[in-house]
Chain A
Amino acid sequence: MDRRTFLAAAALSVLGLTATPLALKPSFASTAPERLVKAVKEKVGVDLSSIKETDKIMIQAPTIAETATAIPITVESSIPVDQVEKVWIFADNNPVPYVLDMTVTPLSGKVFVSTRIKMGSTSNVRAILKLKDGSYVMAAREVKVTVGGC
């Protein structure tokens, strides 16, 4: 191996190393557990893969859960309340992924719900919103769970 090919190989391997984390970052549809896909189909009524991601939903949750039996989760959205019909929350890896759903009315003032949930293992917490125009949007946030609480 001469110097030129060595440098080219080195550059490629460095590129490979830096590129891997991006490639490994889970995309929603491919990593979704089967029972989550089933639960979404049953509760929301549409395919998980057809739901668009949005940055208008804020999920507040701890990065690492201290107690997996009561993880505080807050779901909030900047989408005006009169455009939203319903909110669902799912915990991807739980034995029963469905957590809750809630209706939203103009009396709610804004899209906001806060609760504490149990989680079995590290996974995404996912919020799905049904909008008045019939479309669905979602957001997810990972919570690391060291000792399961299910």
Chain B
Amino acid sequence: MSLIGTGILRVPKEAKKGEVFRLQMVITHPMEPGTRKDAQGNLIPAHHLTKLVVSYNNREVTTINMGGAPSTNPFFAITVLADESGVIKIDYEDNKGGKWSKDAEIKVV
């Protein structure tokens, strides 16, 4: 089984209403930019994430589009304004058609 596309989404267990909390994620992916060459001098084909959508109870928080520059197994952190308990979901895809998602629950008090 390939690990590519496995995501870790870290959300605080609890947040106060109105608090801006930090959402951290790590996605297992080679993030090959397509500009590198292997030992024989052949170009390594690009294979990187292109899009990452963060939603909070089906409302979009942010859409991150990217090229090949983020590191291998990229880490991202963004902020989210806590307003109601629910589910935070990330959907991400790469340039070879891979699509994955991951979600986590948040309790707002």
- A residues with a Cβ closer than 8 A to B are 69-71, 74, 91, 94-96, 98-110, 112-118, 150
Contacts and interface: CB of A to CB of B under 8 A. Distances in A.
B81 A109 contact: yes
Contact of B65 (A100, A105, A116): A100
Contact of A113 (B21, B67, B77): B77
Given A95-B33, A105-B60, A100 B78 contact: no
B13 interface: no
B69 A98 contact: yes
Contacts of B36: 150
A72 to B, nearest CB: 8
Contacts of B83: 107
Which of B70, B71, B74 has the most A CB atoms < 10 Å from its CB? B71
B85 interface: no
- What is the predominant secondary structure among interface residues of chain B facing chain A? strand
27 contacts: A69-B72, A91-B69, A96-B68, A99-B69, A100-B64, A100-B66, A100-B70, A101-B65, A101-B66, A104-B62, A105-B61, A106-B81, A107-B56, A107-B59, A107-B62, A107-B83, A109-B20, A109-B79, A109-B80, A113-B76, A113-B77, A114-B77, A114-B78, A115-B75, A116-B70, A116-B75, A117-B71
B2 interface: no
B71 to A, nearest CB: 4
Contacts of A98: 67, 69
A112 B56 CA distance: 17
B65 A102 contact: yes
A104 B20 CA distance: 14
A105 B66 contact: no
Contacts of B69: 91, 94, 96, 98-100, 117-118
Given A114-B76, A114-B77, A115-B75, A103 B62 contact: yes
Contacts of A99: 66-67, 69-70
B63 interface: yes
Nearest to A120: B35
A118 B70 contact: yes
B87 to A, nearest CB: 14
A64 B79 CA distance: 27
Contacts of B61: 105, 107-108
A104 B54 CA distance: 11
Contacts of B67: 96, 98-100
